Every structure is written in structure tokens, then in C-alpha cells.
Structure 1
């Protein structure tokens, strides 16, 4: 939603400059864009100053966001707690769930230091993978590259996992844009059952799998009812297949009031990082090996959710639903 608005602004500036005396800026940028076209698949261009930018602290405090492997009490706490180490001598593929509308937990925890990721997991270099489309937007691509975001494809993941040295983590929001349409309070429906590409990557590169669940991610917006099979959901699914983006009819709070608007609700978001699943390197994994590891991953994700859900007032009879 917000990315789309920013994209239109960036494209408008890029094209609009051609009709002004500053047209040369667009030409020079286009030349630079051509030379730099492979960077989104080569680890991005992460900059420490961007990760530590003070604005991310304010963004964290808006929700607020906390990170850890053990959920905190439902308070405005900024503590970071973990129960499982990520050994910097290994590489990792992290599956992030759920996407939510904005993937707030994924961005703040993995692309910024607002929650102290480097202190919690020393020696680990995170890279969050993002829909390739956003790297085709002028100016915007350069902003997201310095945050460590990279394209969500095999080539990009391979570059990260084959980098010199270890301690590399490629994080994938598994449900992608399709999962946005189920992002509403009380929904724990994940698009995962048929998503096995990240499992093949883990096997091919011998990278440990790390399940991550972000409690509160789906509570930031309400959506107009679009249950499966409804005319609205059919239209949204068709648009998603054609364009590659989801178009949820959502609403939240206003800037100066909390009753209605397009701002996300100030609801706490706590990201729980599960223990890594060791993976034996298999250059040509069979379908059976992929399915076995995929099932193991889903079980570990369920265990992570069940172990912490009561701390977030989630009913005991509420479980993850995979589609």
C-alpha cells in the first residue's frame, strides 16, 4: 500500500525531470541504473548508518516492536531475549511468518538495528528478500538496497549463502503478497503448504532453517471481508496473478484519532525467532527429501507458535492453518 504510493512518486519524479531543465539527471541516473542492474541479486548495498538511523527507533516505538526467541509479557518492553543461538560459523535461511500487510517485524528486526539484532545475534549478517518488482522502481531501489534488502530469487539467495565466510542469513517472507489478503486480527492462516523453494535452497546449500513468527503482525489493520470464494476475493486473486501485487481493502486508525484511517493500529509486534533446524547439504535433493524437511519445518513452526501463543492472549484452541 505505502510502497505503491512511494513508487508512483518515484516514477513521477524520474519521468517528470525529463521535461525540465534537469533532464540530464534522469539520463545520468538511467545510465547508473543500467550499470548497477545486478546489485539486487548480489547482496544489495547494506550500510550500517542506515540500519542505525534514529527514525527506525521512532518507528519501533510506534507499535512497539520487540524481538526474541521467548515472548515478552504484553508490555511496552524493548528487551531482546533469546533461547537459541545462531552460530556465526554457519549459514541460515529464515522463514518469516506471517507477512501481514506491511511486514513490519521483518523490516525492523532484519533491516535495522532498532531492536538490536546484531547484539542478539552477533556475527550474523541478515538479508531480507523482497519482491523483485520493487527493484525496478527508480530511486526507490537505491533506498532499499542500502537497507540490505535483496531480490527474492534463487540467484540472490545463492550469492548470500556462498559469500566468503559464514554467518549469512537470507530471510524470506514465505507467504509473500498472497498472504496479505488474510492479514486481519485473529487470522493465523499461512501460505506455506506448497511453498517448498526455500527448502530446496536449504538442502542445496546446507543452510540451517530458522522458523520465525511475528505475533501481532496481523493485528495492525482490519480488512473488508473477503472470505475464500467471495467475488471480492476472486477479483483480488486475479489481480494478484496478473500484476504480482495484492490489493487488500483495508483500514486502520487516523493520524489524530484511532477510529478510522489508513495508519496501522498501535499494536505491539513481537517477533519470535525459533531454534535452527540443521540441514545436511544435498546438491540434488529428491522430492522425498524436500517433502520430509518441509514437514519438519512446519512442525517446528507450529511448536514455536503453540509455545508462545498464550502469552499473547491467543485462545488455546487456536492453531496455525496452512494453505
Structure 2
């Protein structure tokens, strides 16, 4: 029998959810504006000192970051988890004596399932996979933004760049699980309720990295991620889509026009189930050939499709739903 939530608990969940949504949308811009404005006030030494320190600290995100257990265990993540709710499902063991690259799908608008499951302890990753450390890799450009970069690093996020991935897979021993949302900005533009489409036919860089460092590949699917917001999806070739593609090319991410259930930004209360699939064994090959990359990329797509088919019904979809790989 489900325990009824108190009004206070529901309030905390809403506030915690808004905290992340507003941080995702506005913290970067607000941080830049704040630092620039401080330069023209009596607080200018504070801004100047920060920028000096920023230059000295520029490479830290790609050299292991500054993950803090305190931030990863914030109660705010627990309330955010309970708002939907979100849960993590294991289908196979991950050997702590190996390294892994977990490909998470779909991106959705904000990848909330990936954030909660792999960048916080709210879904119990370290208990579900003992001895394995999860590291969520996100858009590298975010770590060039003052203040925001420090928040992201404290939460244990890393840039999805080659130096960063190389550090995580070669300088920290074994038991590392690097999580990459493969579809990225292109996939976010396809996010809409009822849509199960992933962008990855031409996304092979993560497979090449896995081969270079001998990291096993693990498909992950977050059922419900695309149901959180209703998005205005522009057709290919339209002015709206061309503007989105241009912005994505320049900035690295695509602006999405979306609405939620309440207060515009608040997402729909749709359960998210993040299912971690079985590892695909990958040999170490410092200079992999195109044939090898294509082979393991194909195995990965087959593993992802199988994962979707086996768990779609138990995660709320009907038998008629299929996974579209673009």
C-alpha cells in the first residue's frame, strides 16, 4: 500500500524540482551576468579574483574534477527523485575490476533520469553496483561558464571531451563507469511524449574510446524521459528547425520550446525507470580500425534494441511500441 504524501513533502518535491529546472535553464546565463556586473561595482575585486582563479583552474574539469559526496547526497535530489518518481533497475552485474562506458538514452529535454541515477546517490547506484563509480559526462562548454562549472563539478559531472574521458578511464584504476548521453542535442529536438527515438547511427566516437581503453559498453534506457515535457517539434527544413540547428552548431546545444504541467517549467509527474543493460565485452585496441568500430557499434545497437524490447512493457509501454534508431 502506497503511503500518502504530506503537503509539506509535496511542497519540498516541487521546490527541489524547480531548483534543478531553473538551474538548468538560467544558472549559466545568470552566472555570466553576475560576474560581469560585479566588475562595475565596489565588489570588483571579488570578480577579478574569481577570474584569475578560473584561469588557473581551467583544466580541472578534464583532470578529475572536484566531486563532493556532500553535494551528491543532498536531500534535494531525493525530493526530485520522488517527484516523478525515478528508479534505477539492474539487469546484470558490473565487475568492479573493469571499466565501462554506459550509453544513456534518450536525452529528453534535460536528461533528468541520467542526472539522478548517475550523478547523485538518490537512486542508490553505489549500492546497486558495489565497487563501481559512476561519472556522468555532459557538454564540455558548460565547464567554461563561471560558477556553473563549480556547481557541476561538485555534483560529480565531467566534460564529455577526449582528455576528460581518457583521464576517467586511465588515471583512476578500475571500477569506473563513464556515462554518456549519446544522442546529445540532436536527440533533444526529437523529444516528445510517445516518441521512442534515439540518435546514434552515426555516433561512433564513444565506441572508439571504449576500444582505445578496453572499456566494456553498456546500453542504458530511461523509460519515461521523453514524457516529462511537451515540445514544439519543428519539421526538417522549416525556419524554426534551421534556427535550432544553427544555434546547435555554434553553441553545442539546441534551444527547445517546451512546456510542463504547472508553472510552465514544472515537468509532468511521469515515472522514469532507468534500466542498465548487460555489458558488451570490448577488447583494448589503441588504434582501432573502422571495421572494429563498426562491429562493436552494431553490437551496441543490437544490445540497446534488445534492452528496450525486454523492458518496455514492465516500464509502462505497450507491445506495439518500437525503438527507432536514427
- The whole-number CA distance in structure 1 between the counterparts of 2:56 and 2:261 is 42
Query: Any idea what the Cα deviations from partners look like across 1:285-311, whole Å, max 9, x if unmatched?
Result: 110110010000000000000001112
Counterpart for residue 189 of structure 1 = 197
> Which deviates the most, 310-319 or 122-131?
310-319
Cα displacement (A) at 1:238: 2.3
TM-score by length of 1: 0.91
Counterpart for residue 98 of structure 2 = 90
- The whole-number CA distance in structure 1 between the counterparts of 2:173 and 2:231 is 44
SS at match of 2:307: helix
Counterpart for residue 160 of structure 1 = 168
- Confirm whether residue 295 of structure 1 aligns to residue 298 of structure 2: yes
Q: 2:45 aligns with which of 1, 4, 24?
A: 24
Cα displacement (A) at 1:105: 0.8
SS at match of 1:296: helix
1:211/1:273 contact within 8 Å kept: yes
Aligned residue-pair number: 305
- The whole-number CA distance in structure 2 between the counterparts of 1:228 and 1:118 is 42
Query: Any idea what the Cα deviations from partners look like across 1:33-60, whole Å, max 9, x if unmatched?
Result: 1111101111211111111111110110
Q: 1:312 aligns with which of 306, 311, 315?
A: 315
- The whole-number CA distance in structure 2 between the counterparts of 1:313 and 1:113 is 25
**Aligned Cα root-mean-square deviation (Å):** 1.3
Cα displacement (A) at 1:25: 0.6
Cα displacement (A) at 1:228: 3.0
Counterpart for residue 138 of structure 1 = 146
- Confirm whether residue 253 of structure 1 aligns to residue 238 of structure 2: no
Counterpart for residue 250 of structure 2 = 242
1:252/1:264 contact within 8 Å kept: yes
- Confirm whether residue 266 of structure 1 aligns to residue 274 of structure 2: no
- The whole-number CA distance in structure 1 between the counterparts of 2:235 and 2:267 is 22
Query: Any idea what the Cα deviations from partners look like across 1:56-93, whole Å, max 9, x if unmatched?
Result: 1011011110001xxxxxxxxxxxxx231111100011
Q: 1:178 aligns with which of 175, 180, 186?
A: 186
- The whole-number CA distance in structure 2 between the counterparts of 1:154 and 1:299 is 25
Cα displacement (A) at 1:145: 0.6
Cα displacement (A) at 1:230: 3.4
- The whole-number CA distance in structure 2 between the counterparts of 1:29 and 1:9 is 16
Query: Any idea what the Cα deviations from partners look like across 1:1-33, whole Å, max 9, x if unmatched?
Result: 843411111111111111111111111111111
- Confirm whether residue 34 of structure 1 aligns to residue 55 of structure 2: yes
- Confirm whether residue 63 of structure 1 aligns to residue 84 of structure 2: yes
Q: 1:233 aligns with which of 229, 233, 241?
A: 241
Q: 1:117 aligns with which of 125, 147, 151?
A: 125
Cα displacement (A) at 1:112: 0.4
- The whole-number CA distance in structure 2 between the counterparts of 1:32 and 1:237 is 34
Counterpart for residue 66 of structure 2 = 45
- The whole-number CA distance in structure 2 between the counterparts of 1:169 and 1:25 is 37
- The whole-number CA distance in structure 2 between the counterparts of 1:236 and 1:23 is 36
**Unmatched runs of 5 consecutive residues or more in structure 2:** 1-20
TM-score by length of 2: 0.91
> Which deviates the most, 36-45 or 210-219?
36-45
> Which deviates the most, 283-292 or 224-233?
224-233
- The whole-number CA distance in structure 1 between the counterparts of 2:306 and 2:44 is 56
Counterpart for residue 77 of structure 1 = none
1:43/1:148 contact within 8 Å kept: no
- The whole-number CA distance in structure 2 between the counterparts of 1:208 and 1:286 is 17
Q: 2:285 aligns with which of 282, 286, 289?
A: 282
1:214/1:271 contact within 8 Å kept: yes
**Unmatched runs of 5 consecutive residues or more in structure 1:** 69-81, 256-260
